[in-house]
Amino acid sequence: MPKINGNEIRPGNVLEHNGGLWAAVKVDHVKPGKGGAFAQVEMRNLRNGSKLNERFRSADKVEKVRLEQKDQQFLYEDAGMLVLMDTETYEQVQLSAELLGERRPFLQDGMMVVVEYHEEEALNASLPQKVTCKIVETEPVVKGQTAANSFKPAILDNGVKVMVPPFVGQDEDIIVNTETMEYSERA
């Protein structure tokens, strides 16, 4: 694995540190008035989700880990495990539903999911950035209400609550951004 200097760490990098795999969430480069510069790195453990703040000087060497990304198709869920199929080899794998966290309700049958592997271990799964959902409950549309920053609550067909513009009504399809979990546009 390639080693990088402490000042080359960027958000999103996966590092091997203290015997674990950590994703750099936030990186601040600090230049104190006295002493050498360093990178203050907030990291999240990819195996158990714990967080760690660490300082790396430019002379410190850390191992940068490359994760293999595979597109896999979601088939079904069974007892808290997601069953996914590799579209090239048709091999089925089971992953914990906890890998998706709060984005789990947006997973739909047949959806393509990007799974990141380190050797044979699945560490992360990500959904497409935009997903189409149907509104099952919201306040009725009010004619002439076109204020730019007004939003109203709506419940989607997957049970998730999002804020939508006042012109969007019940039984309409909308596109939701799965990263921010917010309304994006009408479908």
Cβ neighbours, 10 Å, residue 14: 20
Distance CA 43, CA 26 (A): 7
In sequence order, the 6+-apart residues with CB closer than 8 A to the CB of 88 are: none
Give the per-residue pLDDT at 175: 94
Please tell me the class of the 1-63 domain.
mainly beta
Distance CA 123, CA 46 (A): 6
Q: What single-letter amino acid sits at 24? A: A
| Overall pTM surpassing 0.85 (yes/no) | no
In sequence order, the 6+-apart residues with CB closer than 8 A to the CB of 15 are: 9, 21, 22, 23, 24, 43, 62, 63, 64, 65
Q: Could you tell me which of 169, 180, 71, 70 has the C-alpha nearest to residue 130?
A: 180
Matching CATH number, 66-124, of 3.30.750.24, 3.40.50.300, 2.40.50.140, 3.30.70.2860: 2.40.50.140
Given CATH 3.30.450.70, say whether it is the number of domain 128-184: no
Using a pLDDT cut of 70, give the percent of the chain over it. Answer: 96
Give the per-residue pLDDT at 28: 92
- How big is the chain, counted in residues? 187
Give the per-residue pLDDT at 144: 67
**Domains 66-124 and 128-184 agree in fold:** yes
pLDDT tens-digit map of 122-166: 888 888 999 999 999 998 877 766 656 788 899 999 999 999 988
Give the per-residue pLDDT at 49: 80
Give the per-residue pLDDT at 103: 86
Is the Cβ–Cβ distance between 163 and 114 less than 8 Å?
no
Q: Where are the domains of the chain?
A: 1-63, 66-124, 128-184
Give the per-residue pLDDT at 145: 63
Give the per-residue pLDDT at 58: 86
* Geometric angle at alpha carbon 77, from 76 and 82, rounded to 5°: 95
Tokens of 33: 């008035």
Low-confidence ranges of the chain (pLDDT < 70): 1, 144-148
Distance CA 55, CA 31 (A): 12
Token look-up 């880990």 returns 65
